[in-house]
Amino acid sequence: MSRVVKLAVIPGDGIGPEVVAEAVKVLDAVTAASDVSFEKTPFSLGAGRFLETGDTLTDDDLAAIAAHDAILLGAVGGVPGDPRLKDANIERGLLLKLRFELDHYVNLRPSKLYPGATGPLAEPGEIDFVVVREGTEGPYVGNGGSIRRGTAHEVANETSVNTAYGVERVVRYAFALAERRRQKLTLVHKTNVLVHAGGMWKRIVDAVASEFPGVAVDYLHVDAATIFLVTNPSRFDVIVTDNLFGDILTDLAGAVTGGIGLAASGNINPDGAFPSMFEPVHGSAPDIAGSQKADPTAAILSVALLLDHLGLTDEAARVTRAVEDDIASRDGVRTTAQIGDAIAERVQA
């Protein structure tokens, strides 16, 4: 009995197509001899598409993507400062729109310092934690505006909207994850300043904690959390935090674990009502696009998260192991395709 997974593939802009090509290569390799196959539909979306057609994400695009079982995304975004993109906001109009419309309330970002990978820290210790970033509310809702724009009297507001419904579901996910890992959960927020949103996050974490008596809970202000990420990252197991703090912490976490060339992420709708989307944390890096300089590892590890999400845990583990082995044996400069080839070979070995 063979299983067919309908996969929407969004290569995107810049280095997106290059890294996605390698991710797909590895996906094909790991499923070559298995009874699951991936039926891939490419979607041309991003700055490139916008420049051609003026579209960012049409209702038809969205409906077509939503009809898939999962999504693999490379990276989107044009050359910074490109005047033709002045009024486009690819990030809000495409990436965030997908996350919000497909109710990706868990933005899952594992951070692991793989043996062989080198980060900027002198004594990193063992680093292996996961940031569970809320993905559908907070300061990302787009609830802002301005008056007297462009004058000396301009006022520009941005409102962070947070709901008990939205916070509780992501907090519960984070606790369940911590229970399966090292039983430690850290809430990161700024409760002493953002007293209403922070207060609610804190109360909900305290309430849900009683359902997970085996999980130890602590709290850090976001500023203090950045300190620990560079002085004692081993203290973390699962971090749960809001959309903006999660954005900041995961870039920093990526840096301390060897660079965002290795950082994978999943935008997950755990309820299964919508397809989940897997993407490297890095951006489209237009400056090195097409030069085969990008590291496809983050995209390949995103495939591991995708496989895991689909319940294909064996396949996921094989991809992760192949990446680990590849990182451990790295030396010399390789092209994007060479790294992809090496990892694809390992998953088949």
Token pair of 269 as six digits: 């709708």
Backbone CA torsion sign across 57, 17, 341, 263: negative
For every residue of 255-289, DSSP letters joined together read HHTT-TTS-EEEEE-TTSSS-EEEEESS---GGGT
Q: Quick check: is 251 catalytic?
A: yes
**Cα separation, 78 vs 82, whole angstroms:** 7
Among a second copy, ligand IPM, none, what binds residue 199 when CB lies within 5 to 8 Å by partner kind?
a second copy
CA atoms within 13 A on the CB side of 23: 37
What string marks each residue from 198 to 237 as x (binds ligand IPM by CB under 6 A) or -?
Answer: -------------------------x--------------
Instruction: Report whether 218 belongs to an annotated binding site.
Output: no
**Cα separation, 312 vs 322, whole angstroms:** 16
Token pair of 91 as six digits: 């990030």
Q: Quick check: is 60 catalytic?
A: no
CB nearer to a second copy: pick between 151 and 210: 151
Question: Of the residues 140, 237, 308, 326, which is catalytic?
Answer: 140
Instruction: Report whether 337 belongs to an annotated binding site.
Output: no
**Cα separation, 133 vs 141, whole angstroms:** 14
Instruction: Report whether 160 belongs to an annotated binding site.
Output: no
CB nearer to a second copy: pick between 31 and 302: 302
**What phi, psi does 110 have (nearest 5°)?**
-75, 145
Token pair of 291 as six digits: 């030069």
DSSP state, 136? S
Residue 143: CB minimum distance to ligand IPM, A: 16
Q: Quick check: is 219 catalytic?
A: no
- Judged by CB under 8 A, the chain residues 178 through 207 that form the site for a second copy are 190, 192-197, 199-200, 203
CB nearer to ligand IPM: pick between 192 and 210: 192
According to CB under 8 A, which one of 152, 273, 333, 349 is a site residue for a second copy?
Answer: 152
Backbone CA torsion sign across 145, 150, 155, 160: positive
**Cα separation, 52 vs 58, whole angstroms:** 14
The reply on whether position 252 binds a second copy by CB under 8 A is yes
The reply on whether position 239 binds a second copy by CB under 8 A is no
Token pair of 253 as six digits: 């976490």
Q: Quick check: is 6 catalytic?
A: no
CB nearer to ligand IPM: pick between 137 and 247: 247
CA atoms within 13 A on the CB side of 49: 20
- Judged by CB under 6 A, the chain residues 72 through 111 that form the site for ligand IPM are 91, 95-96
CA atoms within 13 A on the CB side of 300: 34
CB nearer to ligand IPM: pick between 25 and 282: 282
**What phi, psi does 52 have (nearest 5°)?**
-80, -45
Token pair of 53 as six digits: 């057609």
Residue 346: CB minimum distance to ligand IPM, A: 28
Question: Of the residues 190, 237, 242, 308, which is catalytic?
Answer: 190
Q: Quick check: is 202 catalytic?
A: no
Instruction: Report whether 258 belongs to an annotated binding site.
Output: no
According to CB under 8 A, which one of 154, 211, 314, 345 is a site residue for a second copy?
Answer: 154
Q: Can you say which residues are annotated as belonging to the binding site for substrate?
A: 99, 109, 133, 223
Footprint on this chain of ligand IPM (rule: CB under 6 A): 91, 95-96, 192-193, 223, 247, 281
Query: Residue positions in the annotated binding site for Mg(2+)?
Result: 223, 247, 251
Catalytically annotated residues: 140, 190, 223, 247, 251
